[in-house]
Structure 1
Amino acid sequence: MPTRQKFDHELEDLRLKILTLGKMAEQQIALAVNSLINQDLELANSIVVKDLELNDLRADIEETCILLIATQQPFARDLRKLVAGFKISIYLERMGDLAVDLAKVSIRIGQEKLIKPLVDIPRMSGIVQEMIRIGLKAYVDEDCGAAAEMSLMDDEIDKIYSGVFGELKTIMMENPNNVTQANYLLFASRFLERLGDYCTNIAEEIVYICNGKRMDLNE
């Protein structure tokens, strides 16, 4: 097999691994939020265990990137693809870690009656999951324009988080008995807000692949 063809094949294998990692992270987030909404402790614990698979796949992606850089000595756009792919895998693994943190919130709240209907947390999660899907497609298509869309979606998550923060603060002030659970729900909202930031970090890597420029889309 010609050298270029072999390298392209290896790049495609790398993309598939990153797509798999992204889908796993998205599923972990969805399940974590479901465990919180339904107070499903068994599901929450399964998310913690599943995270080990994400960690292993991220490590495999790292080894692949290092091997390709060492053996193929890519430059320009090819090198950017490897660097960006490696960084995207790190962000996706960290998103998996935040899904675990969400699951642990479910475990800590346990079967205690929820102090408020969980409306905004699923809304934030839905936007995050959509951002992941857009980001993964944009990564494959090298679609720089999708970065702007993801940034706007992150702004929406930030607005929802700000509203949740104010609501939970009021709940804590009105009834000190609700402080502990309100703090847990605040942590969950903060984790989702952070997930939106990681999605925009992925968008930044897509921009980097396209034009070699570093942009801060979290500003």
Structure 2
Amino acid sequence: MTQSSSEPDYVLARNRMVDGQVRPLQVSDARIIKAMREMPRERFVPAGCAALAYADRPVALGSGRVLMEPRIIARMLQTAVPRAGERALVVAAGTGYAAALLSRLGLRVIALEQDPQLAKEGRGVCAELAPAVRFEHGTLADGWPAGAPYELILIDGAVRALPPAMAGQLAAGGRLAAVLCPQGRVGTAVLAEASNGGLRGRPQFDAATPLIPELLAGPAFEF
């Protein structure tokens, strides 16, 4: 069927997003670029917000939560070096966009969401677009030990500090990617690994994105 001139061309919007926002930010992993060109991001935002899905900004999902900016999630994924067949946990998965991308990259993904409405919406959209994603409803700070250990944990948003429970859920050599934004400091994407019972990581790039309300409290993080 020919597309009406009044209907948005989301395929064009996805390609513009990748070419204008993602690739200029040093994202060169062809797998990630392909997944972002194909995954209909507009399906992961509330009704009436589809036109905002491809803007270079976070999109409000409700309950103080957002869909992270395309360029930030893309570069976080590239930094984490996801490998097909790995077990991954997405913490604060929201409506499941990042989880769906990881699934498209061939990972076995558990999406953890604390907000019951977001979990319901994410479970529904992933059932159609990324059926291998397993949505779980639970407290974000606790992680999801039933599925551990994970080769990759992705926190889908910014935190003041990394939840200590995540250290015990990483596999040997596993890594955790998140945006860390300590009080009074600029947000920084970090890649962390378990070390001496805690988490130790390296800053990767500056990243300003909204904090996850459910994960505002936490201990200090050590670089």
Q: Which structure shows the higher strand fraction?
A: 2
TM (norm. structure 1) is 0.30
TM (norm. structure 2) is 0.29
Q: Which structure shows the higher helix fraction?
A: 1
Structure label with greater radius of gyration:
1
